[in-house]
Amino acid sequence: MSFAVNHVHLKTTDPVATAKFYVENFGATIKSEIPGRGIQVDLHGLQLNITTKIASQNHEQNYGIEHIALNTQDFTGTLSALKANGVKILEEMIGGSGHRVCFLQAPDGAQMEIIEKP
């Protein structure tokens, strides 16, 4: 399995104010709007997706640093290995980009997102 960091997802009640915090205090730059959800910010090479809770997701969503997302080219193999290791899968779905995504439970209530990337 090979992975690459995709993004860190922050969930907030006010994406504009949260993005402004990272821009004004840490020199982040606005990348783009996430239509109907929030804002993508570049924090010195780390993409932050800053959104409200997303109605189309059925797993529990938390405010703050909600999850870390990784890309994989072997989505099926990665999920098989995770399941074999006893990792709890929270939700499998098709993401906004049309690729398969999976949310899983990490220790202490944290979550990870695995994104299929060809």
Q: Where are the domains of the chain?
A: 3-116
Q: What is the CATH number of domain 3-116?
A: 3.10.180.10
Indicate whether 15 pLDDT > 80: yes
Q: How far is CA 22 from the centre of its chain?
A: 17
**pLDDT band for position 32 (cuts 50, 70, 90):** very high
Q: What is the pLDDT of residues 34-61, one digit of tens each?
A: 888 899 999 889 999 999 998 888 998 8
Q: What is the pTM of this model?
A: 0.71
Query: And the tokens for 1?
Result: 């399995």
Instruction: State how far the Cα of 30 lies from the Cα of 43, in Å rounded to an integer.
Output: 9
SS3 content of the chain, % helix, strand, coil (to 5): 20, 45, 35
* Residue 116 pLDDT > 70: yes
Residue 108 has pLDDT above 80, yes or no: no
Q: If you average pLDDT over residues 63-75, what whole number do you get?
A: 87
Q: Which DSSP state fits 99?
A: S
Percentage of the chain lying above the pLDDT 90 cut = 50
Q: What's the whole-number average pLDDT of the chain?
A: 89
